[in-house]
Amino acid sequence: MTRPRSTTIVAERALVDAGLVGPVRLELDGRHIVSVVTGPAAEQGAAPDLELRQGTLSPGLLDLQNNGSFGADFADATPEQWAQVLAGLASHGVTGVQPTIITAPLDELNAAFDRIHAAQHRHADDPVCRILGAHLEGPFISERRKGAHRAECMLDPAPEALDALLDNPSTAAVLRTLTLAPERAHAVAAIRRLTARGVVVSVGHSDATAEQVWAAADAGATMTTHIFNAQRPLQHREPGVAGAVLADERFYIGMIIDGQHLHPAIARIVYSAAPGRTIGVTDAIVTAGLPSHTSLMFGGQPVANDDTGTGRRPDGTIAGAGIILDEAVRRMITSGLDPAMVLASCTETPARSLRSTRLGQLKPGALADLVWWDEQWQPRRVWVGGTEIRAAAPYPQ
């Protein structure tokens, strides 16, 4: 591992402003990017410290919906597991993550946020995947669209339920995104309260009509969670959740891009319908990055990866993805989708959805979180805050 310092990198091709351009010259000053030059001028001046004459340079990947990986469940991970999973994600080019906690009793949720907050402080200066804040997926969701969540733990986002969460200092400090069903009682008021605190409210696990989704947007909701999965589907007379968010430019579209939760043809439709608004996520769970058929507990119930890298309950219900975000990027590109579009959906667009100017972009002032991909879209070199770390071995083809 090398320590951050002033460095010049010239790349043959890089993702800048959602497009693949080149050549590109980056000047790094320790942890940050201080200048970006594209085109012929990039190859002028002093010899760079590093020349990347093949492949593609991009910002580090940001996974805004990840429940855990490498045997660690973010809901109850130990300090040792946090260290392992954050290092493992970074080695795959994932430099920012929103640990996602699913439906559970409120006291268990607060305990999970206590651990996330502690891990965020513990690893704040380490060259590992950054904890961007927590994503609470539930418990204010619909029993009709519960997916792998426990219906007995679901409830309305009434003021007293929000008080039980937000009065916990760790929860108030780390909660950054909350998925709810806007058709539940008290949901619109809850959306106003949460967004006033800077929380991104995402519509998901919902049987809402389009009108109810648009009312949520009027109250401040700006995201949807894993479009088409666990939500009222698109129909020609009732747009449902999927149609409502695709048609409304106020929404960013979270989409699982493992090629299993959605067919790649549907992913292509979403990217086309919501250019610049689509966010690729994994919805990874504890089995992500582990061999197929490894059985572990997730959300209080057993789960294991099948042969496609999809985490399933014993009854076959999909519980999440068993892959890391770099593999999801490869799957989308291999399916024929535009690499720039896919990469932007995992870097620039999620950063913009979180209103961050320091993440997910190659621009002056941004953090020097970088990934150099080879021609098979395997991460070969990774930097976190200007510090180069060891990249994971290439995923088997």
- Catalytically annotated residues: 283
Half-sphere exposure of 369 (CA within 13 A, CB side): 28
What's CA 342's distance to the chain center, in Å?
13
260: its two tokens: 């299993």
Using omega within 30 degrees of 0 as the cis cutoff, is the peptide bond preceding 105 cis? no
Query: In a 3-state reduction of DSSP, which class is residue 185?
Result: coil
Q: Alpha-carbon distance 32 to 384, whole Å?
A: 10
What tokens does 267 get?
Answer: 């992913």
Cα angle for residues 109, 87, 169 (degrees, 5° grid) = 30
The whole-angstrom separation of Cα 137 and Cα 300 is: 15
Burial of 280 (0-12, 13-18, 19+ CB in 10 A): buried
Angle at 350 between CA 193 and CA 97, to 5 degrees: 85
HEC assignment per residue over 220-255: CCCEECCCCCCECCCCCCCCHHHHHHHHCCCCEEEE
Asked whether 161 and 193 are in contact (CB, 8 A), the reply is no
User: How far, in whole angstroms, is CA 132 from its chain's centroid?
Assistant: 10
